[in-house]
Structure 1
Amino acid sequence: MTNYLDSYKSIFLDIKFRDFWTIFSLIRNEKRLSSCEVLTNNLIQYWSKKNHCSNHYYLPLLCVRTGFDLFLRANQFPAQSEIIMSAINIPSMITVVQCHQLNVIPCDINLDTLEMNVNHVKRLITAKTVAIVYAHIYGRCVDVSELVDLAYEKQIYFIEDCAESFFGFCSCLSEDKNSNRSAVEMYCPIRIQNNNDPSCYMGHPRSHLILYSFGVLKFCTSLGGGFAKISDHNLYTKMLDIYRKDPIQEIQQYSLNVKKYFYLYWLLNIPYVIKPLMYIVRLLNLDHMGFVVNRLRAFSKTPNREELFLSLRRQPCRPLLAFLYHRFQTYDYKHLEMQKEKANYVLNNLEKISTIQLIGMNCKLKNFWLFPIIVSKPDLFVQLLSKHHIDAYRGTTQLNVITKQLSDTDNIPISIDDHHKCPNAEYLIEHVIYLPVHCYVPKQVLNQLISIVNKTAKQIEQYHLRSKL
């Protein structure tokens, strides 16, 4: 019975077989699709109807990094200008900043709330600071109102990286039959008036730039693509003028990516394929997740300037634009409710043991993109879980600590002193593991997982106690 745990991975593709059929059809019939301008306008109109603020501007993107690069291209900040960034992000976001000859200033986060301390951010701001970037991670979302107010006070930009935070649109704006009717947006006026708990997040109304991802591992994935939400008309105009001059993504490249993801879909989503495959993996002691994760990533290693800009400075091709629109219209938001239900079920049944720490449990909004926990001795924890056929993994995402990346390169803008250290973020990345908990895992399998994780945590706790004697 326990071996059923082998059938589920810590990551999955939030897509159905019929969606692959749709995108292959769109690629095959690309010449029949409307123009990029028409497809883009369809997307913009759709998003405009799904947001409370009517004074925002929207831009479909190739990916989040494309939008961030576009923002920096539009502003042309002086060399050595500083951008304060929350301490955990993906390496290529840091590389984008460095390739523009700008300096990254890391700011630590609280592990319970995932917030940046506003007073600490104030101390980091200098005459060279041009922007603050906050990345919401793991689906947990923070009320950034104080940070936004600080940015406006200091006359600098505030940017939200919501790559891991899309959980549908606010129900008060949705008329679609597939919409998440129970979803309430954090800054929804009706929610604030009634003091209800939020359940989805579309960014702060006053943030200058909000970036969303619909890449391969994200909810409502389009196997690529992203969206920018911009509150300043002048900024939007500058970004749009530059973007229109960029070449369009080659359909062949997108097609190759879709085919690759289709093969990985069978390895990550289909239990009848995963279970016998895991027998071989364990027999031969293969690093199967390393193989999969490397093929899911846009870059297997940190790219140089030319590689990065060549890959990012593209407009989405017509099949990708059409598929984004299709996904928004047909996506079953009940998956998101089920994801949250399954994750909360596991959280409520994990015992309070010193060797397990939960992440962001005091956030204003707790959704679940992946299921990370912080554990003592993570390598040992993963090994012990593996003996019970639980395929936990440490390197599931590209998320890393900014201080580590800065220390690994020659482009260190500041000495990593006590003022700039990020001990909380470093501890998280050094001790986080990802469990196979998501909407597709049956409850009876989750019960097995809960039992084994609790036993393993107690086993390691006893090991700690004995080692202190």
Structure 2
Amino acid sequence: MWARKRIDIGWTDLWFGFRKTYCKVDRTIAAQDAESAFTPRDRSLACLSVRSGFDLLLTGLRMPAGSEVLVSAVTILDMVRIIESHDLIAVPIDIDPSTMQLDLGTLQNAIKPQTRAILVAHLFGAILDLSEICSIAQRNDLLLIEDCAQCFDGNRYTGHPGSDVVMFSFGPIKTSTALAGALLVVRDQTLLKRMKSTHQTWPIQPQAEFRVRVRTYSLLKLASGRRTFAILVWILRWLGKNRDETLNGAVRNFPADQFFTRRRRQPCNALLQLMKHRIDRFDASRQDRRSRLGRMLADGIGLSDRDDNMRVPSAATQYHTWWVFPLCCDERHQLIEQLRYSGFDATAVSQMQAVPSIVGNLADSPVTAQRLVDSMCFLPLYPEMSEQAISQMIKIVDQHAKTRNQPFQADSPLE
């Protein structure tokens, strides 16, 4: 069975990270090396996660209470939680489903005297053209923040030149993962100094904790092979365990009640070194293969223009790394059942949510975002997959489109 996701890290990289937890190194040098990996060091900050960096950013900005941040209507709700923790208001801006770009008319109408910033999320590996959004931000004196957690592409994309802050993630399921960590590129030197000053007051993540993390994700990597994953699925079924709950629980970082205390820490030296190591050894050919497979799958499905009940969000974006492959389908659970039966571990479980609208705000309610989230599932896609596997998924989706109102018969395997 093709697992829903494979951890994008090699065994030698895992050994490098594990070994570094026992090594002593000057912390200042480790941080500087990580921060200068693909952008000038005097513009970067290495931190524990994008959530940690975003928290530092809002602390450094010192926006008045009640200020509004315009956000992509589909995002990780933890980002909204951080905004609200600073007594700010997150205002969702609906999106164009074909590109996942912000709706420019809604964005313009949402700008008020209390608006201070725009937070744009590049979703699913699609890298948006921010030229018009950048012009809107500059005309209205707004800070433009790019959330690039899902679209790392080495030094081939380091953010739009007009953005004020760009955030990259190296979390466990991200491209070129270091199992944690993030890099923020900050244009304003004064703001960056304030962020670093606050960061230095946070406790440092223990090396031993990161060592355990490396061991845990080594086991998860081992379990993601086709045969081992099939055995794992069989064991979970035999034990009566829910597959989605078990797999997502295995990669959950911290309990909800420790959201801020565990994120308000500095990365340990081993993590800083592993981030530098992973960025330096970014494999562009591997990324390009995933992009080709993603485009092959999107073009093969090709349903967005002829079937309103099924679409591939972000498929119209020209610059796409296909970090994950989303598919919106009115009968998604039936499609997932068909895919799993045929050896593809599709899932509807995701941290991506529609941001709730703000009562009394004139911005349109994010109806499109909510509709997408309610119908979205994710198909396996990574460089190890064969073109034959991609073609098989295309056939399954096509057959589902033709027979979606009929109950799935598990004794009639798809070919």
Q: Is TM > 0.5 for Structure 1 vs Structure 2?
A: yes
1:295 and 2:286 equivalent? no
For residues 379-427 of structure 1, the C-alpha deviation after alignment (integer angstroms, 9 at most, x for no partner) is 22212333333321000x3111111xx7xxxxxxx31777331111111
Q: Distance in 2 between matches of 1:241 and 1:101?
A: 21
Moved more, 234-243 or 385-394: 385-394
C-alpha change, 1:360 and 1:416, in structure 2 (3 Å) is farther
Q: Distance in 2 between matches of 1:24 and 1:309?
A: 26
Letter in 1 for 2:232: L
Q: Distance in 1 between matches of 2:385 and 2:188?
A: 43
After TM superposition, the structure 1 = structure 2 runs for residues 238-253 of structure 1, keeping only pairs within 5 Å, are 238-253=194-209
Aligned equivalent of 1:206, options 139, 144, 162: 162
1:222–1:320 CA contact under 8 A, matched in 2: yes
C-alpha change, 1:240 and 1:280, in structure 2 (3 Å) is closer
Letter in 2 for 1:424: T
Match of 1:10 in 2: 4
Match of 1:334 in 2: 285
- 1:446 Cα deviation after fit: 2.5
Q: TM-score scaled to structure 2, two decimals?
A: 0.91
**Helix, strand or coil: the match of 1:341?**
helix
Match of 2:395 in 1: 451
For residues 163-213 of structure 1, the C-alpha deviation after alignment (integer angstroms, 9 at most, x for no partner) is 00101223xxxxxxxxxxxxxxxxxxxxxxxxxxxxxx3211121111000
Match of 2:363 in 1: 419
For residues 85-143 of structure 1, the C-alpha deviation after alignment (integer angstroms, 9 at most, x for no partner) is 11111121111111111111111000012111223212111111111100110011111
Aligned equivalent of 2:19, options 16, 20, 25: 25
C-alpha change, 1:149 and 1:417, in structure 2 (3 Å) is closer
- 1:318 Cα deviation after fit: 0.3
Aligned equivalent of 1:320, options 242, 255, 271: 271
C-alpha change, 1:426 and 1:25, in structure 2 (3 Å) is same
**Helix, strand or coil: the match of 1:141?**
coil
1:214–1:221 CA contact under 8 A, matched in 2: yes
Letter in 2 for 1:14: D
- 1:273 Cα deviation after fit: 1.0
Structure 1 portions without partners, runs of 5+: 1-5, 171-200, 407-413, 464-469
- 1:283 Cα deviation after fit: 5.3
Letter in 1 for 2:260: F
Q: Distance in 2 between matches of 1:280 and 1:242?
A: 46
Moved more, 131-140 or 331-340: 331-340
1:440 and 2:395 equivalent? no
- 1:340 Cα deviation after fit: 0.9
Letter in 1 for 2:9: I
Match of 1:150 in 2: 136
Q: Distance in 2 between matches of 1:36 and 1:209?
A: 24
For residues 322-378 of structure 1, the C-alpha deviation after alignment (integer angstroms, 9 at most, x for no partner) is 111111222322210111121222223225362421111222422201111111211
Q: Distance in 2 between matches of 1:445 and 1:115?
A: 30
Match of 2:296 in 1: 345
**Helix, strand or coil: the match of 2:96?**
coil
1:385–1:456 CA contact under 8 A, matched in 2: no
Match of 2:412 in 1: none
Q: Distance in 1 between matches of 2:394 and 2:115?
A: 46
Moved more, 376-385 or 283-292: 283-292
**Helix, strand or coil: the match of 1:46?**
coil
After TM superposition, the structure 1 = structure 2 runs for residues 20-419 of structure 1, keeping only pairs within 5 Å, are 20-27=14-21, 29-31=22-24, 34-48=25-39, 57-170=43-156, 201-268=157-224, 270-282=225-237, 286-299=241-254, 303=256, 307-350=258-301, 352=303, 354=307, 355-395=309-349, 397-403=350-356, 414-415=358-359, 419=363
- 1:282 Cα deviation after fit: 4.7
Q: Distance in 2 between matches of 1:351 and 1:100?
A: 43
Letter in 2 for 1:279: W
1:371–1:438 CA contact under 8 A, matched in 2: no
2:170–2:181 CA contact under 8 A, matched in 1: yes
Q: Distance in 2 between matches of 1:290 and 1:369?
A: 22
User: Aligned residue pairs: how many?
Assistant: 404
Q: TM-score scaled to structure 1, two decimals?
A: 0.81
Match of 1:174 in 2: none
- 1:434 Cα deviation after fit: 0.8
Letter in 2 for 1:121: L
For residues 52-93 of structure 1, the C-alpha deviation after alignment (integer angstroms, 9 at most, x for no partner) is xx9x70111111011111011112222111111111111211
Q: Distance in 2 between matches of 1:93 and 1:393?
A: 23
Q: Distance in 2 between matches of 1:437 and 1:310?
A: 34
Moved more, 439-448 or 10-19: 439-448
1:80–1:102 CA contact under 8 A, matched in 2: yes
Q: Distance in 2 between matches of 1:360 and 1:439?
A: 19
**Helix, strand or coil: the match of 2:205?**
coil
Moved more, 135-144 or 363-372: 363-372
Q: Distance in 2 between matches of 1:219 and 1:46?
A: 16
Q: Distance in 1 between matches of 2:294 and 2:144?
A: 31
Q: Distance in 1 between matches of 2:239 and 2:340?
A: 14
Q: Distance in 2 between matches of 1:319 and 1:80?
A: 39
Letter in 1 for 2:15: W
1:10–1:371 CA contact under 8 A, matched in 2: no
C-alpha change, 1:158 and 1:169, in structure 2 (3 Å) is same
1:166–1:212 CA contact under 8 A, matched in 2: yes
- 1:294 Cα deviation after fit: 2.0
2:325–2:379 CA contact under 8 A, matched in 1: yes
Structure 2 portions without partners, runs of 5+: 408-415
**Helix, strand or coil: the match of 1:368?**
coil
C-alpha change, 1:386 and 1:416, in structure 2 (3 Å) is farther
1:166–1:219 CA contact under 8 A, matched in 2: yes
**Helix, strand or coil: the match of 1:169?**
coil
Letter in 2 for 1:377: E
**Helix, strand or coil: the match of 1:59?**
strand
1:374–1:431 CA contact under 8 A, matched in 2: yes
C-alpha change, 1:45 and 1:299, in structure 2 (3 Å) is closer
